[in-house]
Amino acid sequence: MSIYDFEVKTLQGKNLSLKDYAGKVMLIVNTASKCGFTPQYAELEELHKKYKDQGLVVLGFPCNQFAGQEPGSSSDISEFCSINYGVTFQIFEKNDVRGENALPLFKFLTKEKGFKGFDMNHPVAKPLVEVLKKNFPEYLEGDSIKWNFTKFLINREGNVVERFEPTTSPKDIASDIEKLL
């Protein structure tokens, strides 16, 4: 199985094959509009603008599984991303990213790159772990997505090369992206 075997739906409901991104470097991110990490949209957009002409595509996948932080419709999500962060990178239909009903793409991504822990130097890391322990202890088990804004970096050959947890800022992975461009 390859990253290129997956088909996903855009916010407009159009089917899109990840084969369309063959030869590109992909940064795949599960997103949410009402999360403490939501300001990462701005940094993701900066990466998109800076590197798109060199072959980077940023792909956002909204998810409402983490404390209901993406409650809106496709139209709401599109408007929020555009108005608040000027997002021009591709946003897809809202989906689950963990559990039995997870989008197959995310089942594949988490199988390819497991959870290695949060950056505990990040100011939100300790409170996030406490929230997970108290309210969602099952989220801490295994390699599944733990929270919004988990990022997967895919090289031009379609291999998942790295996973970055929400506590890693998009700007801090620019050097990893540059190595693949």
Which residues are marked as active site? 35
**What does the alpha-carbon distance between residue 102 and residue 125 come to, in Å, rounded to a whole number?**
24
Residue with tokens 């950056």: 119
Residue with tokens 């290129």: 4
Residues in a beta bridge with 30 = 61
Answer whether 20's CB lies under 8 Å from 9's CB: no
Which of 83, 89, 43, 86 shows the shortest CA–CA distance to 62?
89
**What does the alpha-carbon distance between residue 20 and residue 22 come to, in Å, rounded to a whole number?**
6
By residue count, the chain amounts to 181
| C-alpha 103: how far from chain center | 12
Q: How many CB atoms lie within 10 A of CB 27?
A: 25
**What does the alpha-carbon distance between residue 91 and residue 108 come to, in Å, rounded to a whole number?**
19
